[in-house]
Amino acid sequence: MSNDRNAQELLKWGLSHSTAVTSAGGPSVEQISLDIESGRRPDLADPHLYDAIMGKSEAQMMREELSVAVDPSRTVEDRCTALDNFEMLIEQIDNANNITSMRMWQPIISLLSASEPEIQTAAAWILGTAVQNNDKAQMAVLEYQPVGGLLDLLQSSEEEVRAKAMYALSGLLKHNPAAMDQFDKLHGWKTLRLALLDPNIGLRRKTAFLINALLFQDPNSFETTPASTTRSTATAVAPVPNSGAPAVPLEQPPATHTSIPHPNVPRALLSSGTLLTLLSSLLPPHHPGATETAPSGPDGDSDPRTDLDFAEKATTAVLSFTAKLPSAGVQVLDERSAELFRALLVELQGRPLDEADGAKTRWEELGIDTADFEAFKAKVQGV
């Protein structure tokens, strides 16, 4: 039924229950309907009347908001408001998946390269929300090469742009070998290394957390070649012969489960220098052999090691890296890297930076699990 017909049916119902219509002297419902059909009541034949009565569909609202967002003749404020409204709509996973069927990914991704930082921020926010825990959206957006745009935004001079770009990148790379393949080919590891030096300690925390997540999801060890996984194409199992039972649908694998091999994360961290930067950020300034790491904070005068959240996340990522090493531990690495691991072990076994909480060692101050620390210690000592 068309919107016009719906509106007329709703009007008939409303008019039939209206005291004005049923009172003496008022036109009948039938007469009003004839007036609408003959064009004598244009006020009631408005095609937008159904929307006014029932409200617009969320799909229609998505179209309207995106139309404003991509219109360069509108003010930046109006466009950002439209993008914020769009982001709220796609918090519902069905709407997020409708971005694909409604062919909206291309204009959204194009906004990542807008000249206005506010629009870049809002576009990255939409991308991050859409792909968060949504494997279908994770795969659908890859056709539009979003990884490169996000890596560019991570080097923006605007703090909020960098923060939202990291949010989107983290959601896109989560358990997604195809996205990881794009990331690896675009040398995204070097961008992560720079993010570990960001003035904003919050972005450093998110970067360390992402590195740990990428290590955790990687099926490779330090020594292995990328593992290849093949997505199942089965949709159902056959019924048992002569049982009369219908076929039972199989649980479908995630859309991100493809035949594309996952890049070897520990080797990439080492070859890109990201591991050295991560290790150096946990050691005292100007430590021999360490990569020089800039202080954090708005005034550039804060030691990132004093931020327990960052230090815990960075240490956890280092421990996850060592878990990927063979039994010989850090001895399989180059001497500079191995020496920094030994220096970190000494640092973690030493006194906490703040003894007020009662911790006796740095690793206890950071809340590292005893078993995890002992496993790290064994890999560093090669025992």
Write down all domains in the chain, each with its CATH number in brackets. 3-54 (no CATH), 56-186 (1.25.10.10), 198-220+259-383 (no CATH)
Cβ-defined contacts of 254-257 (< 8 Å, 24+)? 254/135, 254/175, 255/135, 255/136, 255/138, 255/139, 256/135, 256/138, 256/139, 256/175, 256/176, 256/177, 256/178, 256/179, 257/229, 257/231, 257/232
Give me the tens of pLDDT residue by residue for the chain, a chain 383 residues long: 445 555 555 555 555 555 544 455 566 656 656 666 676 656 555 555 555 555 578 999 999 999 999 999 999 999 999 999 999 999 999 999 999 999 999 999 999 999 999 999 999 999 999 999 999 999 999 999 999 999 999 999 999 999 999 999 999 999 999 999 999 999 999 999 999 999 999 999 999 999 999 999 999 999 876 544 334 333 334 444 444 444 444 456 788 888 889 999 999 999 999 999 999 999 998 889 888 877 777 766 678 899 999 999 999 999 999 999 999 999 999 999 999 999 999 999 999 998 877 899 999 999 999 999 999 999 999 86
Q: Report the alpha-carbon distance of residue 69 to residue 108 in Å, rounded.
A: 9
Greatest C-alpha distance within the chain: 100
User: What span, in angstroms and rounded, lies between the C-alpha atoms of 180 and 195?
Assistant: 17
Q: How far apart are the C-alpha atoms of 213 and 111, rounded to whole Å?
A: 28
In Å, how far are 60, 211, 329 from 105, measured between CA atoms? 16, 27, 45
What is the rounded CA–CA span in Å between residue 58 and residue 85? Answer: 11
For residue 120, give the nearest of 74, 85, 157, 172 by alpha carbon: 157
CA distance 163 to 125: 9
- pLDDT recorded at residue 229: 39
- pLDDT attached to residue 371: 97
CB atoms within 10 A of CB 85: 16
What contacts 93, CB < 8 A, 6 or more positions away? 134
Cα–Cα separations (whole angstroms), residue 366 to 214, 282, 292, 308, 334: 21, 11, 23, 6, 27
Q: How many other CB atoms sit within 10 Å of the CB of residue 33?
A: 18
Helix or strand holding residue 49 (H, E): helix 49-54
